[in-house]
Amino acid sequence: MSALSNKRGYRALVPPIIIIGLMWVFYAIQQTYFPEIVAYGVRPRELDGLSGILASPLLHSPSDISHIINNSIPMFALSWALYYFYPKLASKVLAFMWVTTGLCVWVGAVPGTNHIGMSGVIYALAGFLFASGVVRKQVNLLAISLLVVFEYGSMIWGVFPLQDGVSWESHLFGGIVGVAFALYYRYEGGPQKKKYQWEIEEELGLDNYEYEYWKVDETTNTIMSPEEAVKQEGARPVRIKYYITKKSDGIQDD
């Protein structure tokens, strides 16, 4: 790994550390001074429950420490991946997904319930990274998301109402929100699918274009790029024009 990649990897550690730190600080304050604060999660269709859109991801079950532990590990891994692969886009996407997931729960979950915990944001991150890997054809993003999903296999089943006391609505809406933002920002920031020159020209609406190649062997008509041809003897320049036709996905040689 290059020095630049190492530096970027270290920088990407800072936001996850801050987020996990806030989670545990809130948990300590909640346990020590304000145990009643857990009532301020997302409470669907209640005006007082709107405050939970911002606060609920930082609140966790006071009676079960495994709740915050199980959320800390995937949150750290996924948020690191977000900031590593999308350093310029990460904070905006995370903030949007945080708020949008909470808002969807407030609108769509069962009234009379109280939703707390970081799991909705975790599902949003997993959905974003996985969908981004698909649309951008980036294996690294797919691998990280799948690793988290398989390591914490219950994530797959978490979008179904199978377990009492678990906010499956947060999981479901979080996953949907993550995929939606991945599609919305598919051309912005982060690693992009490699595009060939003819694809770029086609997107720009150009009817035809020319490239300069060098012919090396008259018998076999071997053609090389100028960069490759400088290493060969007997190379001579030849221009080849290509046309893009609207009736065909291919390229025709003139």
Token duo for residue 135: 């649309």
Q: pLDDT (tens digit, 9 = 90+) per residue, 19-46?
A: 999 999 999 999 999 888 888 899 999 9
pLDDT of 98 higher than 50: yes
The DSSP 8-state label assigned to residue 42 in this structure reads B
Residue 143 has a pLDDT of 78
pTM over 0.85? The answer is no
φ/ψ of residue 213, rounded to 5:
-120, 170
Token duo for residue 163: 């377990």
pLDDT of 16 higher than 90: yes
AA identity, residue 9: G
pLDDT of 88 higher than 70: yes
CB 81 within 8 A of CB 124: no
- Tell me, rounded to whole angstroms, the distance of Cα 112 from its chain centroid: 32
- Tell me, rounded to whole angstroms, the distance of Cα 62 from its chain centroid: 31
